[in-house]
Amino acid sequence: MKGQKMPELLNAGVVGCGYWGPNLIRNFQAIPDSKVKMVCDFSRERLNYIKENYSEIETTTEFEELLKDSEINAIIIATSVNTHFTLAQKSLMAGKHTFIEKPMASSSEQCMKLIELAEKNNLILMIGHTFVYTSSVRKIKEIIASGEIGDLLYISSRRLNLGLFQKDINVAWDLAPHDISIILYVLDEPPVSVNCFGKAHLTPGIEDVINMTINFSSNKFATINSSWLDPHKVREMKFVGSKKMIVYDDIEPLEKIKIYDKRVEVPPHYDTFAEFQYAYHYGDMYAPYVKQVEPLRVECQHFMDCILNNTKSESSGHDGLQVVQILESSSESLRKNGAKVDIT
């Protein structure tokens, strides 16, 4: 970092080793020139699990131990959303580069405070938008930018499964951040408003199924359907262009991206309504080759590279803020029975 000599080995501290934490620990531990020095969790059982698999990693139930350790350069936060702000604020104030799992925080106000703190202390603040680092999503962005599918008209996304039910956030805050981060990455333009309608069927006040529409100033829009109550696991996005269409199925083991040469054409000239005819074009489908690498490994490596090179992350605090702003607006729209809410 500026005015500092970076150590040859970057030491990380991880807080939270429940569902996702062990995956982060595995990847940061495998990256050359970095290691996980200490892991923190309230559960002794989870800490014992880490110790059994990584005898060299220190464990603690006290987060302050990570902050006080001068050898730890970065802290990775993989805890419940309502703890993100407090833990990240303490991490940044202690001079640690900070990685936060999605969503960044519980409010845009909290996000802005963390961004200001990171910038003030010249620290890397990165958010775990893992899908931004997948080969498939990057290939989709490349295809759209090339103009192959024509003008992008809209995006539709479905992220459905049976569970896992959350107690502190609704399904939009739990599942939609993945889709939102992909949509923002591909479109690379700020959203202007959100409509969101949903229902809480099992836990009062916590919606378990939602339909969200995100509107953009360019007249593009994206729809997101998220559910914890679907019998099938679905991870599908469609990018509809004026010439071709892309279908991205993340569950598909090999051909995750398929490009369909399909479109609707409006006749350029007609004298009467009776002469007006839509033309439907049906062409071939092909699946471009995409080299499959673990996106979490790419994401973790990127965080360490940003620290070493003092460069902005591709899922920075500002990107995390934008996702939370959409989620906040979606919550307000839910309270207003699906009414449009401007993003400010």
pLDDT at 278 over 80: no
Burial classification of residue 106, based on how many CB atoms lie within 10 Å of its CB (0-12 exposed, 13-18 middle, 19 or more buried): buried
132-293+326-342 is a CATH 3.30.360.10 domain: yes
pLDDT surpasses 90 at 40: yes
Sheet bearing 58-60, strands edge to edge: 58-60, 34-40, 10-15, 74-77, 97-101, 125-128
Least confident of 4-8, 52-56, 147-151: 4-8
Question: Is 10-131+296-316 a domain of CATH 3.90.1580.10?
Answer: no
What separation in angstroms does the CA of 248 have from each of 142, 253, 344? Answer: 14, 11, 30
Gap between the Cα atoms of 180 and 131, Å rounded = 10
Q: What pLDDT sits at residue 205?
A: 94
**Are the C-beta atoms of 171 and 208 separated by less than 8 Å?**
yes
Question: Rounded to whole angstroms, what are the CA distances from 323 to 33, 72, 135, 141, 206?
Answer: 31, 29, 21, 18, 19
Q: Look at residue 263 in the predicted model and tell me its pLDDT.
A: 80
**Mean of per-residue pLDDT scores for the chain:** 93
**Tens digits of residue pLDDT in 160-217:** 999 889 988 999 999 999 999 999 999 999 999 999 999 999 999 999 999 999 999 8
Q: Is 297 helix (H, G, I), strand (E, B) or coil?
A: helix
Residue linked to tokens 């987060």: 63
Q: Write the pLDDT tens digit of every residue in 132-169.
A: 999 999 999 999 999 999 999 999 999 999 988 998 89
CA distance 220 to 211: 17
List phi, psi (to 5°) of 260.
Answer: -105, 125
Residue 311 dihedral angles phi and psi, to the nearest 5°: -120, 155
- Tell me the domain boundaries of the chain: 10-131+296-316, 132-293+326-342
Q: What is the pLDDT of residues 88-124, one digit of tens each?
A: 999 999 999 999 999 999 999 999 999 999 999 999 9
| pTM to 2 decimal places | 0.92
Distance CA 25, CA 27 (A): 6
Q: What is each CA distance from 190 to 258, 319, 320, in whole angstroms?
A: 27, 10, 13
pLDDT for 274 equals 55
